[in-house]
Amino acid sequence: MRPLKLMMQAFGPYADTEIIDFTKLENRTMFVISGKTGSGKTTIFDGISFAIYGRASGDDRVGADLRSQFAEDDLITEVSLEFSLKGNTYYIWRSPQQEKKKSRGDGFTIVNAKAELYIIESTGERKLLAANVRETDEKIKEIIQLDANQFRQILMIPQGEFRKLLISDSKEKEAILQKLFHTEVFKQIEEKLREYASSLKREVEFGVAERNRHLKNIVYKDNELLDEALSEEPLNDTYILLLLGDLIAQLEAEFEIVKKNMEKQKIKRDDAKLNVDSAEDLIMQISILDQLVEQKNTLLKKEQEIDLKKNEIDLAHKANKLQHQEDLCQRLKCDLDQFNSRLIQEKDQLVQLEAELEKADEQLTLEENQSSRREQLITELTMLKNVREHVLSYASRKSQVKKVEEDLKQCQTQISKDKSILEKKADEIKEQETRLKELEKLQIQTFEFDKKVRNLEEGLQSLRKLTSIIENKTSLEEKIKIKKSEVDHAKKVVDDARESLKVLEKQWMTGHAGHLAASLVNGQPCPVCGSSDHPNPAVETNIQFNENDINSAKENVESALSYHSNLERDWMKMNVEEESLTNQLNETFENTLNMIPDFTLQKKDVFLHDYELEVAKTEETLNEARLKIKQIPSIEKNITDLKIVIEEGRAKVEQLQEKERSLSILYSEQVLEFENVSRSIPEELREIDQYEKKVISIETEIQKIDHSLKMAREYFSQISEKVAVSKGTIKNHEDNIKSVTEALNKERKIFLEKLEEENFSSFKHYNQAKRNVDEINQLEVFIRNYFEELRSVTDRLSDYNLRLQEKEKPDLERLQMELEECERLFHSLGEQHSHLNVQKEKNKEIQLAVTTINQQIKDLENEYELVGHLSDITRGQNTYKLSFERFVLASFLDGILDAANVRLIKMTNGRYRLLRKKDRSKGNIQSGLELLVYDQYTGQERHVKTLSGGESFKSALALALGLSDIVQEYAGGVSLETMFIDEGFGTLDPESLDQAIEALMDIQSSGRLVGIISHVPELKERIDARLEVMADHNGSKTEFQFIG
């Protein structure tokens, strides 16, 4: 990252907009920032850091505190930075959360933090990458690939923080080096190996579970060996597989025996089934013969019904011959009815039309009588048109009078309104002056509020400290009580262990004595006392002891003693700590009483709560007072502005009053002229809209009279025509009725003659005999089917009599019982056959599955042995407690230290050299990235934290420069094109200063930009580019100055 242009507005000591253009350095790669203490040198670094990360370069300065106290209230605090990185140019802008003066009214409002990030394209156009704080933070971290803390440790070294990278522990260095050298892939390798090893382990466990599941599913019956083997945990799969093989062989032998028995039983079942089928067939034929005899008798009983059906068909054929004549008569009768109906309707319509004609004649006469009224309206319309010009003149003059009247009223209203405003402004000045006096009094009171807050906070801090000590003491006393019970219990365990040891030793001695007594012989000396007489020998016991039992009991005693000793030591430490807390409690209680005389321990919670509320309340009052005091300049400005407004308002009122006098004269003149015109026009016609409305009304009435006359004539003509048409239609209907009546009488006579010819006694007889074609066909089909069925039944009856001659009915029930027994035996053998086959095949599947799973488990275990070992090594479970990634990072760190030592050796005249700590840390903590320094004077190593201030600065500087060299060499994702150093050179003696400057000069060839804040004169003299920071009572300004 290389800065190009920094803009700070209302930021720190920079009151207005300050722009620092780093491109003015041109080819210079080093510059010093100088200025008086407090002028704003470090603020430049704060501005760069805040623009990138939203945080200042030091932890003691936060965004809200960076607001300039020199700035105007309406000027927003904001920072922007244009910088280049890896060939791209970016622009970032930020504004912290701050108070802003309200645009309306008094007071301030809170403005939230904002941020935007752009990339500047080759055309100079800015392309938005992020539009808010969260997006900008994420995107800038992605671009720079360092967080704020890493940036401060590597690229920007603020005051008091140059030693952080040097003395940071392994974990902190690991986070930095990961970003710089992109070693995530090695971490991923660790994770992949761990996941793969876990996966292999899970697969083995799953395989064992699957194998056990299969073995538990073995199908068997009455096998004690398998019962016992499958009830053991864990299962012995090898032994169970042997038993399974024997079981499968046994099932196959039983399967073959059952199969042969099934084949024999199948032959018997088939013979029995054949006998049953033959018997059922014969019984069925006998049943059919009986049915045929009964069916023929039923048919013979229907002969009389068939004769009646034949006669019905003959009559239907005769009736069908007369159907055409009947249909002709029916059509004529229908036509006659229709003509009669139409004649009646037409006569009714004629009556209605004649009534309408009479009304139309009356309406026409009425409309023709309106001609006199029409002449009267035309005369009145002519008169109205003659006075049109006078009406228009009246409207114009009335409008002029109204306009002048409105202007006059508006002027008078404005005068009244402006006078009212002036009075309100005067009242407002009085209110503002009163408010100003109140705020000036409040400004004096804020000092008392501030003092009260400090006193309350001291009391609150003392109360909180006292509460914390009491809580810690109470907790510790409870722990002491628990620990004391543990000590007492441990003492009892020691006593019990000692008693057990005594019992064992006594029993061992007794047993040993009994064993010696058993070997005594009368007359021979005792090996213990040497006596030849043995009057009361010890009795030998059956209890067996050896020295290991005694030794084990002694170890139990020692272990219990050690545990008791440790607990007792911890208990004593707790008592000492409790005594210390008691002293702290007494001391803090005395301090609290000095600040709060009426304080008591019993009411400490009440006092703490009251003080917290009081502090919050007083701080709120103080903050409100400070916010109100900020209004004083604006109130003073408001008073001045109001006075100016009042003077301008008075001048405006005087101008309006002069205008009012002129308008009054003009209004009187125009009113006189308007009254003269009004007298020449009737009152009801003076308004143009009334005049026009009257004209339109007369014209509309004339048009209405004309239109009504026309409509009446047209309607009378239409009704007259309809009456004539209706009379002609009635004449036609009467002629048609006469003609149709004559034709109907003629055809009826012909029908009656034909009815007699066909021998029908009456029309009713004829009508009953009528059948349609479908009904006749059904009757003929019925008769034909009857004779066909009779013939078929007679033929089949003769055939069955011949076929069943001399045959008896078989015993079907006995034959079926024999078949059912054969079926039962065959089905029973089939179930045995199926059951044995399922058992055999199921067990074969289990045998194959278990064999396959065993091979898979063996392969997985071989693979896990290798992968699991590699996973453990890469995760740091090795002699050096180094993970794979940290091992790689240690290698990079060694390279960095080599590069750093080149400069450090030169800056310390060969005395110091940085080393990486390779010894294991205590416990399971991973290490390997902490630093030591080798002192040539003592010939020993020591931690870098032991270096003095100047030595630490030189070491940190050498480390930072070495880090830059290695990162640039490895062309990773992080670009280290810039370094900023804030102070630190003042801790160096003249010789060390020269050496440090030479080291910085050496890196100019790499093109890196180095910015240094320092008061050291020698540094200013050696570096030809200087950014001078100048401060006065209005804030600070900057300027680049170049030597030569």
The residue out of 582, 606, 629 marking a domain boundary is: 629
**Of the residues 607, 629, 651, which one is the last residue of a structural domain?**
629
Alpha carbons 106 and 95: distance in angstroms, whole number: 23
Residue 473 and residue 593 in one domain: yes
**8 A C-beta contact, residue 175 and residue 147:** no
Element holding 830 (H helix, E strand): helix 812-874
pLDDT at 884: 78
Helix, strand, coil: what percent of the chain each, to 5?
70, 10, 20
Asked whether residue 126 falls in the same domain as residue 19, the answer is: yes
Written as six digits, the tokens of 437 are 């006096």
Look at residue 971 in the predicted model and tell me its pLDDT: 45
CA distance linking residue 241 with residue 247, whole number of Å: 10
Tell me the C-alpha distance between 620 and 190, whole Å: 55
234 preceded by cis ω (within 30°)?
yes
Write the DSSP assignment of 694-721 as a string of letters: HHHHHHHHHHHHHHHHHHHHHHHHHHHH
Helix 812-874 with 184-216: angle, nearest 10 deg = 150
- Does the structure show a pLDDT above 80 at 687? no
Cα–Cα distance, 866 to 619 (Å, whole number) = 67
The answer for residues whose C-beta is within 8 angstroms of residue 13's C-beta and 6 or more apart is: 38, 39, 40, 43, 68, 70, 1031, 1035, 1036
Find the distance separating the first CA and the last CA of the chain, reported in whole Å: 28
Give the CATH number for residue 1010: 3.40.50.300
Distance CA 783, CA 792 (A): 15
Q: Report the pLDDT value the prediction gives residue 139, as an integer from 0 to 100.
A: 92
Residues 455 and 527 in one domain: yes
Whether residue 771 is contained in a domain is answered as no
Do 369 and 412 fall into the same domain? Answer: no
Q: Quick one: pLDDT band at residue 1038, thresholds 50, 70, 90?
A: very high
**Average pLDDT, stretch 1017-1043?**
85
Mean pLDDT score, 956-975: 70
Q: In sequence order, what are the residues at sequence separation of 6 or more whose Cβ sits closer than 8 angstroms to the Cβ of residue 516?
A: 526, 527, 528, 538
CB 483 within 8 A of CB 567: yes
How does pLDDT run across 332-372, given as a tens digit for each residue? 888 888 888 888 888 888 888 888 888 888 887 887 777 77
Does 281 score more than 70 pLDDT? yes
Question: In the predicted model, what is the mean pLDDT of the chain?
Answer: 81
Which of 167-181, 199-213, 285-299, 590-604 shows the lowest per-residue confidence on average (mean pLDDT)? 167-181
Query: Is pLDDT above 80 for 686?
Result: no
pLDDT confidence of residue 924: 47
> In terms of domains, do 362 and 498 share one?
no
The mean-pLDDT minimum among 39-53, 526-540, 590-604 falls in 526-540
**% of the chain surpassing 70 pLDDT:** 89
CA distances from 136 to 58, 95, 113 (A): 21, 12, 12
Q: What is the pLDDT of residues 647-681, one digit of tens each?
A: 888 888 888 888 888 888 887 877 787 777 777 67
Report if residue 729 sits inside a domain.
yes
320-339 average pLDDT score: 82
Of how many residues is the chain composed? Answer: 1044
Range name among 216-230, 776-790, 917-931 with the lowest pLDDT average: 917-931
The number of folded domains in the chain is: 3
Q: How far apart are CA 42 and CA 58, in angstroms?
A: 9
Do 1011 and 1028 fall into the same domain?
yes
pLDDT at 827: 87
Q: Check whether residue 453 and residue 473 sit in a common domain.
A: yes
Of 480 and 177, the one with more pLDDT: 480
Q: 4-8, 63-67, 437-441: which has the minimum mean pLDDT? A: 63-67
d(CA 401, CA 395): 10
Cα(271)–Cα(86) distance, rounded to whole angstroms?
100
SS3 546: coil
pLDDT higher than 90, residue 5: yes
> Rounded distance, CA 100 to CA 67, Å?
11
Residues 474 and 362 in one domain: no
Residue 6 confidence (pLDDT): 94
Using alpha carbons only, what angle is made at residue 802 by residues 799 and 807, rounded to the nearest 5 degrees?
125
544 assigned to some structural domain: no
Domain that holds residue 705: 348-386+687-757
Pair 393, 371 in one domain: no
Structure confidence at residue 415 (pLDDT): 85
- Residue 622 and residue 446: Cα distance in Å, rounded? 6
Answer yes or no: do 463 and 382 share one domain. no
400 part of a folded domain: yes
Same domain for 115 and 32, yes or no, is yes
Q: Is the pLDDT of residue 518 over 70?
A: no
Cα 453 to Cα 101, 588, 1009: the distances in Å are 26, 20, 48
Q: What is the CA radius of gyration of the chain?
A: 63
pLDDT tens digits, one per residue of 838-868:
888 888 888 898 899 889 888 888 888 888 8
Q: Is this prediction's pTM over 0.85?
A: no
Distances (CA, A) of 915 to 895, 940, 941: 11, 11, 8
Q: Is 981 part of any domain?
A: yes
Question: Which pairs with CB-CB distance under 8 Å and at least 24 residues apart come from 102-106?
Answer: 106/631, 106/634, 106/635
pLDDT, residue 517, reads 60
Contact 810, 283 (CB under 8 A): yes
| pLDDT value at 890 more than 80 | yes
Place of tokens 């009488």: 745
Q: Please tell me the distance from the alpha carbon of residue 984 to that of residue 158, in angstroms, as a whole number.
A: 9
Contact 205, 226 (CB under 8 A): no
Which residue, among 255, 54, 171, has the nearest Cα to 833 in the 3D structure?
255
Answer whether residue 296 is part of any domain: no
Nearest to 1019 by CA among 4, 18, 3, 33: 33
196 vs 395, higher pLDDT: 196
Mapping DSSP to helix (H, G, I), strand (E, B) and coil, where does residue 1006 land? helix
Better pLDDT: 461 or 684: 461
DSSP 650: H
Instruction: Output the domain CATH number for residue 695.
Output: 1.10.287
Q: Cα torsion for 235, 238, 241, 242, to the nearest 10°? A: -130
Task: Quickly count: other Cβ atoms within 10 Å of residue 993's Cβ.
Answer: 21
**Is the same domain home to 359 and 487?**
no
Tell whether 474 is covered by a domain: yes
Query: Of 757, 777, 793, at which residue does a domain stop?
Result: 757
Most confident of 92-101, 745-754, 948-957: 92-101
Contact 51, 79 (CB under 8 A): yes
Domain assignment present for residue 12? The answer is: yes
- Least confident range of 78-87, 667-676, 917-926, 1017-1026: 917-926
Distances (CA, A) of 192 to 204, 386, 758, 889: 18, 111, 115, 19
Q: Which residues pair with 1012 in a beta bridge?
A: 32, 981
Confidence check: pLDDT of 810 > 70: yes
| pLDDT, average across residues 445-466 | 78
